[in-house]
Amino acid sequence: MPGPTKNLSPTKHVKKLPRFIEPALAELVKEPPTGLDWIHEVKWDGYRIQAHIENKKVRLFSRSGLDWSSKFPLFAKELKSLSVHNAILDGEVVCLDQEGRSHFHKLQEALKKKESQHLYYYLFDLLFLDGKDLRDRPLQERKEWLKKTLRSGAPGRVLYSDHMQGPGKPLVKAACAYGLEGIVSKDLKSSYHSGRSSQWLKSKCHLRQEFVIGGYSPGSRNEFGALLVGVYEDEQLRYAGKVGTGYTEQAIEGLKRKLKKRERRKSPFQLNSPREKGLHWVKPDLVAEVTFANWTTDHLLRMAVFQGLREDKLPRDVLHEGLKKRMPKPQRTPLVAMTNPTDLLYKKERLTKLQVARYYQDVAPWILPHLASRPLSLLRCPEGTKRCFFQKHLSGKVPESVLPIRIKEKSEVETYLTIVSKEGLGALSQMRVLEFHTWGSSADNVEHPDQVVMDFDPGPGVPWKRIIEAAQEFRKILSRLGLKSFVKLSGGKGLHVHVPIAPVYSWKQIKNFARTLAYEMKSRHPERYTLSMSKAAREGKIFLDYFRNERGATFVAPYSLRARELSSVALPLSWRDLDKTKQGDEYTLAKTYKHLKQRKTDPWRDFFKEAPRISILSPA
């Protein structure tokens, strides 16, 4: 099959295309860059779509990786006509008016009515072509090959997104005068980088971005007044203000139906939550597109106008675009940052020190909330899993990203280790830490635990099904007390159930509480459970280990690897997924990666939002 790859510069060759590539994103700037090394494109107001062509099969993915092929069959049909074996293309689907301006709300209306006469797919980048990974090639070269590739197909609604070179300031002015959203400026020499970077910059005519919906206020329009919206800041949802205009009656009806299904009792805003009476709170899983005049000094919206809901953006990715300081995307540890990166830590799986470090960098958004500012005990393995030792206290020289916590123990003050960042994770990976164990309290409130942990540790002869039944029984007891529970595989033989609580009780109270629950379970089924640490007493029984709730005791952190023959992970699961598991060490590093890519939601994402009091206890 003839194609445009005849003179393509040598680059990395792949046999199979990746399923999805996180798209490159532009940083918001007040003024566009100048100089001949920059090009400027129209900032389209639509849905970012990544097209995958492989063996004449076309799949279209949203910016968050959802398969949206069924939404745009017209574009899939046109892309099949391109003379390529396989390719990955990046672009934006838009709905144009008669003057060639794109409108997001018109695109939503067209999709609802299944009308396609005004829809176009503008392509501005080429990531893979005929088995060659082009992401390391300069943008100028990628765009040249994109233009040639599109010429090989029949003309239609899949179009090349052209650009201009030169000073960006007059182009922004012209774009705004014409009624466009703005421009995107790109470094011609840049490679393709997933995530937000300064190699792509966006200049907007009006302030506009996405916001997470956390509730709504009452009003005269069918009991609807305004949306309450926010942005994520260091993994916490900050209230950003009200959006009170821009709604049609049809939009209000649709919103009310969605919001009613998501109502909850407590505010989802951890920062700056409004305290007016009569507000309705909702589960924060909807994203709205909003235009607004500016931000106040308190970072609240002024003159906000609703544009529509965004189905292509994850709530956790919604940040304050105007702030320079933002939660960074997970970045993999570079090879040069590690000493002895090829040393084998898991010999049976041939997993190296670098691969372990990369794993912890990749899961940093999930593991860090369970480690940050908590006293840690670390299992270090200098020679792989065969020879390991625990480190509880600070000793010797440690990196700056590993922080000291001073805690009084009996008559002495001991210094523990903790971390607060990905850099800290990387530093501990350099120290060959495989396992992370943590206290059930934070460093700033060390005498008051913020969770209860029950370890279901099976003795010889206990089937896995019975361990699951035990955890489910414990969950029911907690539910009757109004407590929500979260389950994780231990990475060993058993299960751990975590119960977030308000940090207002003493260690003694929480240990007695956990022991009482364990005794209740044992009294019901003495043939199944034991509360004795003795190995002889565990034959055919499950040890209900409530001792994890003592001051100074630890438990393995969620997402931590275990230092065993295989790289098992202490993996958090949903209660539904638990029923599908076969054993506590089922998920190795490789299988965990696969699971994380496939799961649609984080089953523990509300863990730190749940902090109820225990009804049968009085605060210490």
Per-domain residue ranges of the chain: 24-197, 207-317, 335-438, 451-609
Is the distance from CB of 438 to CB of 375 less than 8 angstroms? yes
Is the distance from CB of 267 to CB of 281 less than 8 angstroms? yes
CATH assignment of 335-438?
Answer: 3.90.920.10
Tokens coding 406: 């001073």
Query: What's the pLDDT tens digit per position in 67-91?
Result: 899 999 999 999 999 999 999 999 9
Where is average pLDDT lowest: 37-51, 90-104, 165-179, 326-340?
326-340
pLDDT of residue 11: 56
pLDDT > 90 in the chain, percent: 60
If you search the block for the tokens 């399923």, which residue do you land on?
19
DSSP β-bridge partners for residue 87: 53, 129
- pLDDT higher than threshold 90 for residue 10: no
Residue with the bigger pLDDT between 350 and 196: it is: 350
Query: What's the pLDDT tens digit per position in 541-591?
Result: 999 999 999 999 999 999 999 999 999 999 999 999 999 999 999 999 999
pLDDT of residue 331: 38
Give the up-direction half-sphere exposure of residue 28: CA atoms within 13 A in the CB hemisphere.
Answer: 15
pLDDT of residue 351: 93
- pLDDT higher than threshold 80 for residue 104: yes
Find the mean pLDDT for residues 349-355: 92
Residues near 185 by beta carbon (within 8 Å), at least 6 away in sequence: 26, 32, 33, 38, 39, 40, 41, 168, 200, 201, 202, 203
Same fold, 24-197 and 207-317: no
Q: Whole-angstrom Cα distance, residue 351 to residue 359? A: 11
Where is average pLDDT lowest: 4-18, 61-75, 422-436, 572-586?
4-18
Q: Measure CA 547 to chain center.
A: 33
Q: Whole-angstrom Cα distance, residue 537 to residue 489? A: 23
Where is average pLDDT lowest: 164-178, 204-218, 465-479, 561-575?
164-178
> With bands split at pLDDT 50, 70 and 90, how would you rate the model's confidence at 324?
very low
Q: 376-380 and 305-310: which strand pairing?
A: unpaired
- pLDDT higher than threshold 50 for residue 301: yes
- pLDDT higher than threshold 90 for residue 399: no
Query: What's the pLDDT tens digit per position in 206-253?
Result: 788 999 999 999 887 768 999 999 999 877 899 999 999 989 888 899
- Measuring CA to CA, which residue among 34, 139, 132, 31 is closest to residue 90? 139
Q: Per-residue DSSP letters for 237-279?
A: EEEEEEE-B---HHHHHHHHHHHHHTEESS-S-SBS----TT-
In the chain, what's the furthest Cα-to-Cα distance? 82
Q: How is domain 451-609 classified at the architecture level of CATH?
A: Alpha-Beta Complex (3.90)
B/e letters for 79-103, b = 16+ CB within 10 Å, e = fewer, are beebebebbbbbbbbbbbeeeebbb
Where is average pLDDT lowest: 125-129, 295-299, 568-572?
295-299
Q: Known catalytic residue: 43?
A: yes
Fold entry, domain 207-317: OB fold (Dihydrolipoamide Acetyltransferase, E2P) (2.40.50)
Determine the 3-state secondary structure of 121 from DSSP.
strand
Residue with the bigger pLDDT between 347 and 397: it is: 347
Find the mean pLDDT for residues 104-131: 91
Average predicted confidence (pLDDT) for the chain: 89
pLDDT of residue 336: 42
pLDDT of residue 2: 35
- pLDDT higher than threshold 50 for residue 5: no
Q: Which of 12, 15, 30, 43 is catalytic?
A: 43
Q: Whole-angstrom Cα distance, residue 224 to residue 428? A: 51
Q: 195-204 and 24-28: which strand pairing?
A: parallel
pLDDT of residue 260: 92
If you search the block for the tokens 């971005």, which residue do you land on?
209
Is the distance from CB of 460 to CB of 500 less than 8 angstroms? no
pLDDT of residue 13: 67
> Is 3.40.50.720 the CATH classification of the domain at 24-197?
no
Query: What's the pLDDT tens digit per position in 146-157?
Result: 999 998 766 689
